[in-house]
Amino acid sequence: MKKNILVHLVLFISIASSAQKLSPKGMTVLQSIENMFTALANTDTTAFKQSCTGDVKFYEYGQIWTIDTLIQKVMQSKSIPDFKRINSFEFINTTINNKTAWVTYYLQSAITRNGKEEMIKWMETVILIKEKTEWKITVLHSTRLIK
């Protein structure tokens, strides 16, 4: 009985310590990331541009992409009639220091195209800068996780 209680206590502590307890400011940072990915999924280039700084860099697949590079890739998906992307996040760590934030998370995307659904997973780190009242992405580094 005591072992059972101890096991449950250890499990509870490990789960509780891995969960982020964020202030409203922290939640705003996370929402900015989710909004950027929603804009990408909806091929909404205006909202996408608004979610990033003008000099944003995306470090993907060993390459450095600009905002125009990513928009070009996203627009290719617009030509696929049944294209759909649903993103889900598991936020690991968020650090905010004045007008700069660092966020690390797992991203999982269910992508449907040409009648087939594929599940793709990444681990990503984003740096955001606060411009006036909005958090904007200035760096996104992505590592695709192997199935």
Per-residue pLDDT of the chain (147 residues; tens, 9 = 90+): 444 333 333 333 333 334 567 888 889 999 999 999 999 999 999 999 999 999 999 999 899 999 999 999 888 888 888 999 999 999 999 999 999 999 999 999 999 999 999 999 999 999 999 999 999 999 999 999 987
Amino acid letter for position 83: F
CA 112 to each of CA 26, 40, 47, 138: distance values in angstroms, whole numbers, following the listed order: 31, 14, 22, 28
pLDDT of residue 23: 86
The domain defined by 22-145 carries CATH number 3.40.50.300: no
pLDDT of residue 16: 35
CA 5 to each of CA 16, 56, 105, 125: distance values in angstroms, whole numbers, following the listed order: 16, 49, 31, 37
Dihedral of CA 64/99/42/37: which sign?
Answer: positive
